Structure 1
């Protein structure tokens, strides 16, 4: 049978299939008309990419801030453990650990000849057993010089609790810039750390960490300082007349530049494991080079004993009572210096 268009149909009159193929608009599936899908245009793709990029840009700072908050909390927890370890040491011995033991009584061959040794153990070595670091403590010879070959393994060992996770410098043995271990003398690498004891306050020239000290105001001393020099011995809690909760014990000391001047936890020479508080704002920069460029009384000596943490706005300190506090980088430096002494008899309003 022919349609009026002259084409054959598939059935005769009354047939359900008698519909011309020419009248079919598009293929059908299950009675539904299939509409071809349209792909993304280039403009739509670029818009989608821009939206995703904007969202990432908005979320990334929040993610980074959350990560830094976690690192700062862990850093404070390390200081808390250190404070408790010092209290454990005091309970066992009746006194605070020595900041460093300066003897000036031995020599050994170095890069350019005989090198005078002046260091025994320091406070971070002394509290190892109270931080569950018994193996490391057993491997250190407390009767030998700090720079002796027998103590090499301990000097180059990484101790997690002595390192703040916000400290960006690599945790690898480094030769310190000064003292018997320096490159021009013994050239001995030490493992870095992030925390130093507060040895007291300074005006920029005198520090209670040096074997060359000839005078120092007794009320300026801190809870942990050098012994075996200028008649100073270890302190006891009863000596902290300014109050345990108002006297700094230890804090963060890091530098973004000149890693040879950073903290070395096992190095007993001078300021590498303990520092004074000089009332100069530059010592809180956490950057040795910037501190030196800023200038001030004592030239770069206060910078060698600088404080700083890679946290936005400040750094952590632990007090003699074991409490950890975050101190802002804009703190009154005279106030901070007063908090560094154990017997200054100052009236202070704590900045936390």
Structure 2
């Protein structure tokens, strides 16, 4: 007689402890890999930001090749209706060299940039003006959302209906203010002060405390004017995140808190001169204007020049980026350099000024 035996089948599986160990290992691997992935993404964004600056440099040099001068940062225009006197900026001048001929042809230079008739154009987002590391246009504080709503200029509300102005994370450098020297205890130079040209009807001024970079805010500059050398002089730099206010790494959300200007690539106030601020970014230096010779006492009276931070402390027309450790800048020769947050004030002054005769150190 054949005997049969019942065999029990045993299924192998994970115990609870083994499962927890596997989960822990996976968590550790993710923790190790995530920073590397984030760093790789930021490296790609930083490279694109660098390429944007190079494209802008090529556009400005193509303009210079055509007209034998760099464009003025702000160009004076006279319109048929109020405001009679207003300004357009150099970004509009170089649109044809950024493959934006249709945009250039449609733009009315005889109408102020912020007029509602220009909204379709000025609200256009151009990737060459936006650093990928900076917040998206949609996530930035809108001047129309603060209390009370801010207008730029007065009488021209922010175009919320069309999504706001096309952003600009870069600024053309019009120079360095006397506060770089005054706030750091250095003697303000008495040469290379920038002449000021004013719109008709405004009070005349002969000099101010700005020491010019490659371009000038209200007058033409040529390559020959940059006697310190194009490779030693900054031309365009990051001032990212506008019109939202960022102090250190925090966005300031409060009533009536947006940048004074730099609201878009068409805003004449997108350019700026470096003033510096306190380390927390709350107080921006306010060196006074005056005729040459300018002294520390006249340019920086008590309370005017109190901050010694010049990189990544505040983005209101100051050097500011969302990269770790510094900002990217376009030099006058078309190269892109990375300027550290820890750069010395006098080294920064040397690479911002184009004809002050100062010596450039390592940076």
TM-score interval, normalised by the smaller of the two chains: 0.7 to 0.9
Q: Distance in 2 between matches of 1:71 and 1:346?
A: 34
CA deviation digits over 1:193-223, x for unaligned, max 9? Answer: 1110010110249997987783535881122
Report the CA distance shift for 1:73/1:340 in structure 2 as closer, same or farther (over 3 A).
same
- Between 67-76 and 147-156, the greater mean CA deviation after superposition: 147-156
- Between 98-107 and 50-59, the greater mean CA deviation after superposition: 98-107
Report the CA distance shift for 1:276/1:210 in structure 2 as closer, same or farther (over 3 A).
farther
Question: How big is the shift at 1:39?
Answer: 2.1
Q: Distance in 2 between matches of 1:89 and 1:147?
A: 24
Match of residue 275 from structure 1: 272
Question: How big is the shift at 1:104?
Answer: 8.0
Match of residue 182 from structure 1: 152
Match of residue 185 from structure 2: none
Which secondary structure state, in structure 1, belongs to the residue aligned with residue 44 of structure 2?
A: helix
| Residues 1:316 and 2:302 aligned together | no
Question: How big is the shift at 1:294?
Answer: 7.8
Q: Distance in 2 between matches of 1:85 and 1:204?
A: 31
CA deviation digits over 1:98-154, x for unaligned, max 9? Answer: 10124587864xxxxxxx565322011111110111121112112322223332222
**Contact 1:317/1:326, CA 8 A, preserved across alignment:** yes
Match of residue 74 from structure 1: 48
Match of residue 199 from structure 1: 174
Superposed CA RMSD in Å reads 3.3
**Contact 2:277/2:306, CA 8 A, preserved across alignment:** no
Aligned residue runs from structure 1 range 115-134, under 5 A:
116=83, 118-134=85-101
Match of residue 344 from structure 1: 356
CA deviation digits over 1:47-87, x for unaligned, max 9? Answer: 21111111101110010011001100110000000001100
Match of residue 118 from structure 2: 151
Aligned residue runs from structure 1 range 218-233, under 5 A:
220-227=211-218, 233=219
Q: Distance in 2 between matches of 1:195 and 1:235?
A: 20
Which secondary structure state, in structure 2, belongs to the residue aligned with residue 291 of structure 1?
A: coil
Question: How big is the shift at 1:90?
Answer: 0.3
Could you say which structure has the larger radius of gyration? 1
Q: Distance in 2 between matches of 1:172 and 1:46?
A: 39
Aligned residue runs from structure 1 range 230-269, under 5 A:
233-255=219-241, 256=246, 257-258=251-252, 260-261=258-259, 263-269=262-268
Which secondary structure state, in structure 1, belongs to the residue aligned with residue 88 of structure 2?
A: strand
| Residues 1:54 and 2:35 aligned together | no
TM-score (ref. length: structure 2): 0.73
Report the CA distance shift for 1:210/1:80 in structure 2 as closer, same or farther (over 3 A).
farther
**Contact 2:270/2:317, CA 8 A, preserved across alignment:** no
Find 1:305's aligned residue among 312, 317, 328. 317
Q: Distance in 2 between matches of 1:260 and 1:321?
A: 33
Question: How big is the shift at 1:185?
Answer: 3.0
**Contact 1:154/1:266, CA 8 A, preserved across alignment:** no
Question: How big is the shift at 1:346?
Answer: 0.6
Aligned residue runs from structure 1 range 278-293, under 5 A:
278=275, 280=276, 282=278, 290-293=280-283
**Contact 1:276/1:340, CA 8 A, preserved across alignment:** no
| Residues 1:165 and 2:132 aligned together | yes
Question: How big is the shift at 1:26?
Answer: 2.3
Which secondary structure state, in structure 2, belongs to the residue aligned with residue 238 of structure 1?
A: helix
Count of aligned pairs between the two proteins: 302
**Contact 2:198/2:205, CA 8 A, preserved across alignment:** no
Aligned residue runs from structure 1 range 7-26, under 5 A:
9=1, 19-21=2-4, 24=5, 26=7
Q: What 5-or-longer segments of structure 1 have no aligned partner? A: 1-8, 10-18, 28-34, 109-115, 228-232
Report the CA distance shift for 1:104/1:75 in structure 2 as closer, same or farther (over 3 A).
same
Q: What 5-or-longer segments of structure 2 have no aligned partner? A: 160-164, 181-192, 286-302
Match of residue 325 from structure 1: 337
Match of residue 16 from structure 1: none
